[in-house]
Structure 1
Amino acid sequence: MSAPYKLTKTDQGSYLFTSDIGLEYTCFFIACPITDNDGNDHLIYSFGFDRSGKFKSIRYANRFDERIKFTIIYIIKEFFRINGDNALLYFCYPDDTFARHRSITFSRWYNEELSDDIDHFKKDSAYKDEMLYDGMLILKKNPFHKLLNDAVDVYIAEMNNQK
């Protein structure tokens, strides 16, 4: 499977693509070191994407573009092909009141395209008195599955306590 939109990979490991209507997307990964309950160090990645340098959505401003969905799914699958023993976190920030919508969309994409080989753990939490929709993706066959899942719970709790 190849990405429906032409991807450009940057030196920093981000992916760039432009939709048919000229919207520019950036998909990026941020490395986050964590330690599991057994004292082992791991590197997990926070995944995000923005449109034209912004995270804000405008209600019903654009039609749904399925090629964007499949391009992002391709990027996630490519991440796991290269980084199979790592976990992938995502955060849907509430800045524009559409965080819940993004979380629902991401869960639907997971169920439709990723659920055969990847587990999805919702990790929703509160941050600065606002709901933060977040979660983790990890390969089902990852030998560090439980350790990473537990360590991510601690990581998110600690992050949210830094008010």
Structure 2
Amino acid sequence: MSAPYKLTNAGKGTYLFTCDNGTEYTCFFIALPITDKDGNNHLIYSFGFDRSGKFVSTNFTNRFDVRIKLTIVYIIKEFFKLNEDNAVLYFCYPDDQLARHRSIAFSKWYNEELSGEIVHLKKDTVYNNEILYGAMLILKVNPFYELLVNAVDKYIAEINDQK
């Protein structure tokens, strides 16, 4: 399977694509060093994407484009083909009051496209008195599954403690 939209690998974990309506998307993975409760170091990846270089969203101005979903899902699947011993963490930031909606959409995308080999663990937390919706994606067969889940749980607890 290939991505529905033509992808450009911009290097350093960054991918670019342009929709039929001209909207440009940037998807990126950023290495995130974390430690578990025993002080062991782990490297996971924070995932995100933006539209036209911005994280802002305007309510209901764009028609749903299934090819955007399928392109982003493709990027995540390709990540795990290359990084099967790693995990991905994402957060839906509340700046535009649509974080919950994005979290629901990502959960739906997971259920529709990723649930076969990948586990989706909700990791919502509170930061600056706002709900920070998030989740961890990890392969079911990852040999470091428990270590990475525990390290991410510790990381989330640290975020929560930073209120």
Which interval holds the TM-score relative to the shorter structure?
over 0.9
Conserved in 2, the CA contact under 8 Å of 1:92 and 1:99?
A: yes
**Counterpart AA for 2:137:** L
Query: Match of 1:42?
Result: 42
In the other structure, the counterpart of 1:104 is 104
Residue in 2 that maps onto 1:83:
83
- Counterpart-to-counterpart distance in 2, 1:138 and 1:160: 22
Unaligned runs of 5+ in 1: none
Q: Alpha-carbon deviation of 1:38?
A: 4.1
In structure 1, what is the Cα distance between the partners aligned to 2:26 and 2:129?
28
Contact 1:17 1:25 in 2 (8 A): yes
Give yes or no for contact 1:7–1:16 (8 Å, CA) kept in 2.
Answer: yes
Q: Determine what percentage of the aligned residue pairs are the same residue.
A: 72
Q: How many aligned residue pairs are there?
A: 163
The aligned amino acid for 1:141 is V
Q: Normalising by structure 2, what TM-score?
A: 0.97
* Runs of 4+ residues over 6 Å off in structure 1: none
Q: Deviations 1:43-99 (Å, cap 9, x if unpaired)?
A: 100000000011111111000000000000000000000000001000000000000
What is the alpha-carbon distance in structure 2 between the residues aligned to residue 160 and residue 9 of structure 1? 34
Residues 91-121 of structure 1, C-alpha deviation per residue, up to 9 Å, x if partnerless?
Answer: 0000000000000000000000000000000
- Equivalent position amino acid for 1:95 in 2: D
Aligned equivalent of 1:70: 70
* Offset, 1:12: 2.0
Query: Quick one: which amino acid aligns to residue 85 of structure 2?
Result: D
Q: Once the 2 structures are TM-superposed, how far is the Cα of residue 146 of structure 1 from its aligned partner?
A: 1.1
Equivalent residue for 1:150?
150
Cα distance in 1, alignment partners of residues 49 and 10 from structure 2: 14
Name whichever of 10-19 and 43-52 sits farther off: 10-19
Q: What is the CA deviation profile of residues 116-137 of structure 1, one whole-angstrom value per residue up to 9, with x for unaligned ones?
A: 0000000111110001000100
Task: Report the Cα distance in structure 1 between the residues aligned to 2:38 and 2:119, rounded to whole angstroms.
Answer: 22
Asked if the contact 2:13/2:30 (under 8 Å) is kept, the reply is no
Q: CA deviation at 1:160?
A: 3.0
Q: Tell me the residue number matched to 2:126.
A: 126
Deviation at 1:13, TM superposition (A): 2.0
Confirm or deny: 8 A CA contact 1:37 1:147 kept in the other structure.
Answer: no
Q: How well do the aligned residues superpose, as a CA RMSD in angstroms?
A: 1.0
For the residue of structure 2 that corresponds to 1:10, the secondary structure is strand
The 2-side partners of 1:147 and 1:13 are apart by 23
Unaligned runs of 5+ in 2: none
Q: TM-score, normalised by structure 1?
A: 0.97
Q: How far apart, CA to CA, are the structure 2 residues paired with 1:30 and 1:61?
A: 29
